[in-house]
Amino acid sequence: MTDRVYIFDTTLRDGEQSPGISLNVREKLEIAEQLTRLGVDIIEAGFPITSPGDFEAVSAIAKKIKGPVVASLARAVNPDIDRAWEAVKAAERPRIHTFIMTSDVQIEHQLRKSKDEVVEMAVAAVKRAKGYCDDIEFSPMDATRSDFDFLVQILDAAIEAGATTVNIPDTVGYALPGEFGQLIASLREALPALNDVIISVHCHNDLGLAVANSAAAVANGATQVECAVNGLGERAGNTSLEEIAMVLEVRKAELGVTTGIRHQEISRTSRLVSNLTGYPVQYNKAIVGRNAFAHSSGIHQDGVIKHRTTYEIIDPKMIGLEESRLVLGKTSGRHAFRTQLASLGYELEDSELERAFKQFKALADKKAEITNEDLDAIVAEEVRTIEETYKLESLSVTSTTGMSPSATVKLGRDGQTMSETSDGDGPVDAACRAISAITKTETKLISYSVSAITGDLDAQGDVTINLEIDGKNVLGRGVSTDIIEASAKAYLNAINKTL
């Protein structure tokens, strides 16, 4: 018999807590729509009490998304729960997810309450949330470092108060797979009521064990896995969605479970999240890293040519990684462009489509083959820049051997054009200095990287820039066939995020 495991995606909540990530509402909606296409069961859309932006994003996702449950996070206190409900109440299937610290170390040094008070707070929170909706998730934070008997006591009380999902977080990524699997088994044995609710797990990756721990939990009866696209999340991140989804698929005979994930959407989901968050995907990351299906040793290449399965346990087509096809060209019109975007799952409004079409035409002038990856990048750029305060209107750079490069940048804001010329150590530096002068923003460069979107010589350059602005770590991303322009766009994207 195979059991269904629910996939709970927290890219927009725990994932967005990664340093430097700051998504606007439009970007979060685009990701939520892609997660729906991917087939996740629950989308944790945000933590509404933390900021007006989070509240707005949860409300917008609640209104728009049909199919998955939309979850809204709250600490176990009334103002959080009321705000979480206010944000999520328009959802077709709303969930309130409330949590409280339960490990001795966190209760003593951070929460500073007695254990009885902690149980009372948890029960009161679940009851208050239950007054708003039926679907309630309760998380005892730092469960893996909590006293086992106390964990049983608080879970029992939360279920009695109305929790329909209980989540066991390995908040600091401390557990070992054997231990974590055993914890789930022991909890089920000690508390039979757990078998009437969904048992969820939420693993962090501090020791690189989040996926292994989640799989061990499933093998021991967990029925929901919390995860994030590309493994984003606090510190070393959360369980990577694509990895756990493929573990559960590739080893389904052994684990005896199924999920609702449409695996063919995995690759595009990873690309979209990377494009919009500015977090590049590690080259050798399992499943979605660019080397995940690259065979370089002669013996391996020989084997794969003779029979793919000699060195591949997953057919790349299964996760939507086909050969980059030529989809559109210079002569393609709006209709073909819209149709191709729709086949990729993008539904742009007329004005967005018009701007994206202009970008496509400009790109088709410079690049012979426009691939699906290029289209993903165009849409991401369109979504990314839609709410930006400053827009790059033009950039001209002169760079001559033996002389300081200089850049003239024109930026548009509220219908006005502002221009500035600056020198720099290199053309990128000069362009960034000109942008800083116009936007009156001081920045400190933390890191800068450039990569190519596809493998060809005429590929678009994809620049990620990490800046410190007003003490905050901000990421920006920009794409262009000209890497100086891509750098200027990435720099401006980071600045716009702080405005």
Sign of the torsion angle spanned by Cα atoms 449, 454, 459, 460: negative
When the beta carbons of 202 and 477 are compared against Zn ion, the nearer one is 202
Contact 169, 143 (CB under 8 A): yes
**Residue 95, interface with ligand KIV (CB under 6 A)?**
no
Question: Shortest gap between Cβ of 234 and Zn ion (angstroms)?
Answer: 6
Q: Which does 406 bind (CB under 5 to 8 A by kind): Zn ion, ligand KIV, none?
A: none
Point out which span in 163-171, 320-328, 331-339, 354-362 binds ligand KIV (CB under 6 A).
Answer: 163-171
Residues 10-69 close enough to bind Zn ion by CB under 5 A: 14
When the beta carbons of 139 and 270 are compared against ligand KIV, the nearer one is 139
Question: Shortest gap between Cβ of 138 and Zn ion (angstroms)?
Answer: 14
In terms of Cα–Cα distance, which of 61, 57, 14, 18 is closest to 36? 61
When the beta carbons of 165 and 496 are compared against ligand KIV, the nearer one is 165
Contact 81, 48 (CB under 8 A): no
Contact 138, 98 (CB under 8 A): yes
Sign of the torsion angle spanned by Cα atoms 455, 354, 465, 480: positive
Sheet with 444-452, edge to edge strand ranges? 444-452, 461-469, 472-480
Residue nearest to Zn ion according to CB distances in the complex: 14
Question: Shortest gap between Cβ of 97 and Zn ion (angstroms)?
Answer: 11
When the beta carbons of 215 and 453 are compared against ligand KIV, the nearer one is 215
Residues recorded for the chain:
499
Point out which span in 6-14, 20-28, 43-51, 343-351 binds Zn ion (CB under 5 A).
Answer: 6-14
Question: Shortest gap between Cβ of 100 and ligand KIV (angstroms)?
Answer: 9
Among 169, 181, 427, 461, binds ligand KIV (CB under 6 A): 169
**Residue 435 CA, distance from chain mean position:** 28
In the three-class reduction of DSSP (H, G, I as helix; E, B as strand; rest coil), residue 446 is classed as strand
Among 18, 139, 223, 443, binds ligand KIV (CB under 6 A): 139
The H-or-E segment that residue 78 falls in is helix 78-88
Q: How far apart are CA 38 and CA 267, in angstroms?
A: 10
Q: How far apart are CA 26 and CA 33, in angstroms?
A: 11
Residues 173-202 close enough to bind ligand KIV by CB under 6 A: 202
> Which residues sit at the interface with ligand KIV, rule CB under 6 A?
14, 99, 139, 141, 167, 169, 171, 202, 204
> Which residues sit at the interface with Zn ion, rule CB under 5 A?
14
